Amino acid sequence: MHIHILGICGTFMGGIAAIARQAGHRVTGCDANVYPPMSTQLQAQGIELIEGFSPDQLLQFETLPDLFVIGNVVSRGNPLMEAILNQGLPYISGPQWLGEQVLYTRHVLAVAGTHGKTTTSAMLTWILEFNGYKPGYLIGGVPLNFTVSAHLGESQYFVIEADEYDTAFFDKRSKFVHYRPRTALLNNLEFDHADIFADLAAIETQFHHLVRTVPSDGLLVVNGEEPALERVVTRGAWAPVERFGQAAINEWSFIAQESDGFIVKKSGNEVATVKWAPDSGVMGRHNQLNALAAIAAANHIGISPENSARALATFKNVKRRLETIGVANDITVYDDFAHHPTAITTTVDGLRRRVGKARILAILEPRSNTMKLGVMKAQLPLSLEAADNIFAYGASTGKESLGWDLNEVLAPLNTSGHSRAKAFDDLNALVAAVAKEAKPGDHILVMSNGGFGGVHQKILKALAE
């Protein structure tokens, strides 16, 4: 079958493209921005890419594709989508195609939650791979234990990062309702995606829909520290529920140790000890919870906590999760995907645990749809409190511009005559200010869910000069 994917260069749709190619389909695709690294990864797998969404691309094929798979970046008015609709050509969403063509025969382990989905999915996938389960997987990032973010796999098991974002312009349900997991891991739940959800209750309803798809002989692994998830489970759970958290009241709990290692407890009994590799890049309480959840999910398919702990001892985290980009003049620059206030808090806290009293210079670009709408702006100052200096960037014009005053929001961080938080609408000015402030021994933490104009390399260059 010939499949043509619209919006192919996103991490999720690119993963679907790779899986479809591995399944033996001819795969082509198009996107508004066809550039490395996704473009080169796809082309290396024999996938033909077309720049843009012009309907003229339909004329490039000797025969029309058998099916068009539509990513959620495509909306009505997209010229290629309008041509597909006008000509009555067959189309389907990415999540529905994956659910119907790949996942329906598999034991799906789905990882859902506002934060930590990518890291926890990577942990769980590595636990299965390390223990010889040869899983399929689709992860919304680049796990450093693997060379690709998606793989068809060789066994009945498939790990998927289960996103609550909407499926497509013609299907406003969350993506994860298409996956029908047998093991569903609910990591946490907060308000996010303000562009599509009115409030937290609306997201809870989508999580409830996910819970309704888990069979009675499946398992729900639920964060016992999250009130929103407790409300979801209270609305109805037809599969057994195992809760995890630091407190011993949970079926799965942990005791923290030095260097962020931890002892795993099940039903009050110590069953394993996790020790991260020194170069893993994994740190912080949030990653202890992520790992505990992965251990509980793996236990459901027969992998003991001890064998999961052995796997996690060789886990290497995911790109853009406190990833060291470079060092210049004894100043280290990190990259992290954090963009929600809770994720910012845990990321800064994780780095603080690593560097102790050394200075942390936090560089933030609040560019997610939720942040641009200003829904979470009041939480920003507290999320950055543990950083010594804060440099925030908000473009003044264009589609990335903020609709609120960044300086005004960060003002609570500037007290007692100490101006440690500054906002910029010029990226070069921000880089110059960071380079002027930074001193040997400092740690520069860059946080954004986008490319941030290549600011990491610009800062390293400025520091070197």
Q: Which CATH number is associated with domain 102-312?
A: 3.40.1190.10
What amino acid occupies position 382?
L
Residue carrying the six token digits 């299907």: 171
Task: Return the SS3 of 254.
Answer: strand
What amino acid occupies position 261?
G
**Longest CA pairwise span in the chain (Å):** 70
Cis peptide before 37 (omega within 30 of 0): yes
- The tens place of each residue's pLDDT in the chain, 465 residues long, gives 999 999 998 889 999 999 999 999 999 999 998 766 677 888 888 899 999 999 999 999 999 999 999 999 999 999 999 999 999 999 999 999 999 999 999 999 999 998 888 999 999 999 999 999 999 999 987 788 887 889 999 999 999 999 988 999 999 999 999 999 999 999 988 877 666 777 889 999 999 999 999 999 999 999 999 999 999 999 999 999 999 999 989 999 999 887 778 999 999 999 999 998 877 777 778 889 999 999 999 999 999 999 999 999 999 877 677 778 888 888 889 888 776 777 788 788 878 877 888 899 988 888 766 666 666 677 787 888 888 888 888 865 555 667 777 777 787 887 766 788 888 888 888 889 888 888 999 999 998 877 777 888 888 988 888
Task: Return the SS3 of 113.
Answer: coil
pTM: 0.79
Looking at residue 35, its pLDDT comes to 67
How do strand 252-256 and strand 262-266 relate by DSSP bridges? Answer: antiparallel
Question: What dihedral angle (degrees, nearest 10) is formed by the CA atoms of 31, 398, 395, 348?
Answer: -30
Task: Return the SS3 of 161.
Answer: strand
Could you tell me the sign of the dihedral formed by the alpha carbons of 123, 126, 127, 133, in that order?
Answer: positive
CA–CA gap between residue 370 and residue 16 (Å, rounded):
26
- The structural domains of the chain, with segments of one domain joined by +, span 2-95, 102-312, 323-464
Q: Please tell me what DSSP assigns to residue 149.
A: S
Residue carrying the six token digits 């119907």: 100
Question: What dihedral angle (degrees, nearest 10) is formed by the CA atoms of 303, 308, 309, 315?
Answer: 170
Q: Which CATH number is associated with domain 2-95?
A: 3.40.50.720
What amino acid occupies position 322?
L
Looking at residue 371, its pLDDT comes to 64
Looking at residue 147, its pLDDT comes to 79
What amino acid occupies position 119?
T
How do strand 323-328 and strand 252-256 relate by DSSP bridges? Answer: unpaired
| Total length of the chain | 465
Looking at residue 375, its pLDDT comes to 67
Q: Which two tokens stand for residue 69?
A: 């798979």
CA–CA gap between residue 127 and residue 291 (Å, rounded):
10
Half-sphere exposure (CA, 13 Å, Cβ side) for 362? 34
The conformational region for residue 335 under phi > 0 = left, psi -120 to 50 = alpha, else beta, is beta
What amino acid occupies position 86?
N
- Residue 173, H or E segment: strand 171-174
Q: Which two tokens stand for residue 394?
A: 């908000």
CA–CA gap between residue 16 and residue 137 (Å, rounded):
10
**What is the third-level CATH fold of 323-464?**
Protein-Tyrosine Phosphatase; Chain A (3.90.190)
